Amino acid sequence: MSDYNLSPLWISLRIAGLATAITFVLGTLAAYGMLHYRGRWRSLIEAVLIAPLVLPPTVVGFALLLVFGRRTILGQLLASLDLSVIFTWYAGVITAVVVALPLMYRTALGSFQQIDPTLLAAARTLGASGVRVFGQVLLPLALPGILAGVTLSFARALGEFGATLMLAGNIPGRTQTLSMAIFFAVQAGDMRGAALGSALILMLSLGVVTGVNLWFQRQPLQRHRSRNPSLRVAAVPSTLANRDPGAPAPRLWVDIHKRLPHFELRAHLTSRGQPLGLLGASGSGKSLLLRCIAGIETPDAGRILLNDRVLFDAEQGIRLPSAQRRVGVIFQNYALFPHLTVGQNIAFGIPAGLSETEKQERIQAQLKSIQLKGWENRYPSELSGGQQQRVALARALASDPEILLLDEPFSALDTHLRSHLEHQMSEILADYKGVTILVTHNMEEAFRLCEDLAVLEHGQIVAQTDKRRLFEAPPCLSIAQLTGCKNISRAQPLGPQWIAALDWGCELQIQGSRSGEHIAIRAHHLALRRDGSLPNTFPAWLVKWSETPHRFTLFFKLNSPPSHSQDYHLQAEVLRERWQEMQNWGSPWWLQLDPSHLMMF
């Protein structure tokens, strides 16, 4: 070993080291650029970036000679500056970058694509610029893939032979790398030299790969230990402080149109400062509407106004980016940054310009308000679903948003936690003075948390009104169903104030002059009587029942006994205690459809 010329080793390390650094920068930037680029040149650009991986090294070398050769334009330009690339170690760096770049690019792109896009959207809604999203969210989350790319690039650069030989030549002591030294040692019959060179390359490549793997295996532990920010614990007032009580109520005005390949959203919505519940069947466009308001999606036409600001105006070409909209979004999966602690997650959205002390005060105030004081150094993976939801709420509120968009925030929680967190949420929302929109499937939840309700159906807002009004007088059949009405029958007019309920097999007296094709009554409005003396009262046979801890749902058939378990007309809901009294009355019961509770559609 002592007489082995080590210059190829140093040249290889110098070339591979510099090439890896350049490849890392170019590869990750190219991957970031291509992550969002959907233009028509995408396939061609990808093909060019990947080509060196699939082309023979001699072809790559020849192509580089055509670019950097002494007779080319670039070569002559360099010569006029007394510079030359070919037959220098820089040529080795250039070829190593070209052949390693596809590996770095592909691995980085693959890692970026694995990252939940909601995390990036969340970062943008919290006011982060593109550079910050890249540096603080995308890059750290893609770190395993990026490191794999760096390792592969280093190994590839270290082993590059054919293209380097063509561009840099084999000049001992200047451009001769280990790979070349091995090749020429074999040619010269120096098997011992070739074996030593090969062993060096093997040790270097395996050493780097193993070293990176070992470092990375220790990483989760290191993260939890070393990244604990020195968050100062101090008793501070809540930052959810009420805004000026005399301030005008916050307002949102939305009138937008967005066309997707299989869906069209045409939504007109206003919010007058009270929490607004957004109801609608699955796929009706609720999340899409929120994403348009947050600036994650861009409508094709229309306007979005928030207080005195225009967030979007297609005609005037105004498209305020998410980061400038001052929206706080609670995503369905909460979208907490997994590589940041609870404290760092909350700090992410705090507007720039505050001093470190003010920042810490705001974090502590948020932690206090969500009852997670002392949890600032935990990672999201160490929290329960309910705790994650609260951190997401605190993170959104810490960014001081003018509007809070909550996309089914309780959907991932069990019933007990749901009601507990709903209570906490209602207290926080009561203090929050911005616009709130809550998307939910749960009618009762919407009723408890919101004052106004809007209903979205097939991409259109079909109703927006005070919650009580929506339940008492649903404007259409689908809203009656959506708000929990279980008894619906086709209707046929019989005369003034009389209709035939075709599916219930009875004739009913109705109030006023309302007409329609359907008649409906809510299950809790059906009344059980001892006799048929009141209007719209019919003999009813009990077909079956289902029970919850406090209520019974009773399935009745009117006017004749049932023939099977599906042979029923109406569902009535009664409290358990009341049913225990009534069940002794004996069959048939008398069921009253009070005219004042009948709804026509």
Ligand X SMILES: Nc1ncnc2c1ncn2[C@@H]1O[C@H](COP(=O)(O)OP(=O)(O)OP(=O)(O)O)[C@@H](O)[C@H]1O
* Closer to ligand X by Cβ: residue 168 or 446: 446
| DSSP H or E segment with residue 259 | strand 252-260
Separation in Å, CA 85 to CA 90, 167, 178, 530: 6, 8, 20, 103
Among 199, 214, 249, 260, binds ligand X (CB under 6 A): 260
Query: How far apart are the C-alpha atoms of 377 and 343, rounded to whole Å?
Result: 6
Q: Does 285 bind ligand X (CB under 6 A)?
A: yes
Query: How far apart are the C-alpha atoms of 390 and 376, rounded to whole Å?
Result: 13
Stretch that binds ligand X, among 8-16, 55-63, 229-237, 255-263 (CB under 6 A): 255-263
Q: Binding string, 209-248, against ligand X, x = CB under 6 A? A: ----------------------------------------
Write down the least CB distance from residue 289 to ligand X, Å.
7
* Closer to ligand X by Cβ: residue 121 or 554: 121
Q: Does 343 bind ligand X (CB under 6 A)?
A: no
Among 245, 248, 261, 353, binds ligand X (CB under 6 A): 261
Tokens representing residue 238 in the block: 């809540």
Q: Does 258 bind ligand X (CB under 6 A)?
A: no
Among 20, 95, 175, 287, binds ligand X (CB under 6 A): 287
Write down the least CB distance from residue 260 to ligand X, Å.
4
Q: Does 283 bind ligand X (CB under 6 A)?
A: yes
- Is there a contact between 145 and 107 (Cβ–Cβ < 8 Å)? yes
Residues 6+ apart with CB under 8 A from 490: 501, 502, 503, 517, 518
Separation in Å, CA 365 to CA 376, 435, 567: 12, 21, 59
Q: Are strands 301-306 and 252-260 parallel, antiparallel or unpaired?
A: antiparallel
Query: How far apart are the C-alpha atoms of 105 and 113, rounded to whole Å?
Result: 12
| 509-530 burial code (b ≥16 CB/10 A, e <16) | ebeeeeeeebbbbbbbbbbbbe
Among 4, 10, 215, 263, binds ligand X (CB under 6 A): 263
Q: Does 512 bind ligand X (CB under 6 A)?
A: no
Q: What is the largest CA-CA distance in the chain?
A: 117
* Closer to ligand X by Cβ: residue 250 or 280: 280
Backbone angles phi, psi at 29, to 5 degrees: -65, -40
Among 280, 295, 302, 328, binds ligand X (CB under 6 A): 280
Query: How far apart are the C-alpha atoms of 510 and 514, rounded to whole Å?
Result: 8
Write down the least CB distance from residue 282 to ligand X, Å.
3
Separation in Å, CA 321 to CA 81, 301, 352, 397: 45, 16, 17, 19
* Closer to ligand X by Cβ: residue 282 or 316: 282
Residues 6+ apart with CB under 8 A from 394: 346, 366, 367, 369, 370, 372
Specify which residues 554 forms β-bridges with.
Answer: 545, 572
* Closer to ligand X by Cβ: residue 42 or 420: 42
| 387-400 burial code (b ≥16 CB/10 A, e <16) | bbbbbbbbbbbbbe
CB burial of residue 252 (10 Å; 0-12, 13-18, 19+): buried
Q: Does 454 bind ligand X (CB under 6 A)?
A: no
Stretch that binds ligand X, among 239-247, 275-283, 351-359, 565-573 (CB under 6 A): 275-283
Write down the least CB distance from residue 297 to ligand X, Å.
7
Stretch that binds ligand X, among 60-68, 227-235, 280-288, 555-563 (CB under 6 A): 280-288
Write down the least CB distance from residue 390 to ligand X, Å.
22
* Closer to ligand X by Cβ: residue 408 or 452: 408
* Closer to ligand X by Cβ: residue 173 or 283: 283
Stretch that binds ligand X, among 117-125, 203-211, 279-287, 534-542 (CB under 6 A): 279-287
Specify which residues 453 forms β-bridges with.
Answer: 277, 465
Nearest to 407 by CA among 440, 432, 448, 380: 440
Write down the least CB distance from residue 69 to ligand X, Å.
48
Stretch that binds ligand X, among 30-38, 59-67, 208-216, 260-268 (CB under 6 A): 260-268
Stretch that binds ligand X, among 241-249, 268-276, 286-294, 553-561 (CB under 6 A): 286-294
Q: Does 284 bind ligand X (CB under 6 A)?
A: yes
* Closer to ligand X by Cβ: residue 4 or 263: 263
Stretch that binds ligand X, among 117-125, 237-245, 258-266, 396-404 (CB under 6 A): 258-266
Write down the least CB distance from residue 177 to ligand X, Å.
49
Interhelix angle 178-187/7-36, nearest 10 degrees? 130
Write down the least CB distance from residue 219 to ligand X, Å.
34
**466 Cα distance to chain centroid:** 30
What is the SS3 assignment for 319? strand
Q: Does 288 bind ligand X (CB under 6 A)?
A: yes
Stretch that binds ligand X, among 73-81, 259-267, 355-363, 573-581 (CB under 6 A): 259-267
* Closer to ligand X by Cβ: residue 40 or 262: 262
Write down the least CB distance from residue 481 to ligand X, Å.
16
Write down the least CB distance from residue 484 to ligand X, Å.
17
Write down the least CB distance from residue 261 to ligand X, Å.
6
What is the SS3 assignment for 367? helix
Q: Does 282 bind ligand X (CB under 6 A)?
A: yes
Write down the least CB distance from residue 311 to ligand X, Å.
19
Tokens representing residue 557 in the block: 């058939």
Write down the least CB distance from residue 264 to ligand X, Å.
9
Nearest to 601 by CA among 504, 511, 479, 502: 479
Stretch that binds ligand X, among 215-223, 284-292, 347-355, 417-425 (CB under 6 A): 284-292
Q: Does 435 bind ligand X (CB under 6 A)?
A: no
Query: How far apart are the C-alpha atoms of 513 and 499, rounded to whole Å?
Result: 11
Write down the least CB distance from residue 118 to ligand X, Å.
12
Q: Does 355 bind ligand X (CB under 6 A)?
A: no
For 116-168, the three-class secondary structure string (H helix, E strand, C coil) is: CHHHHHHHHHCCCCHHHHHHHHHHHHCHHHHHHHHHHHHHHHHHCCHHHHHHH
* Closer to ligand X by Cβ: residue 254 or 428: 254
Q: Which residues would be at the binding site for ligand X (CB under 6 A)?
A: 260-261, 263, 280, 282-288
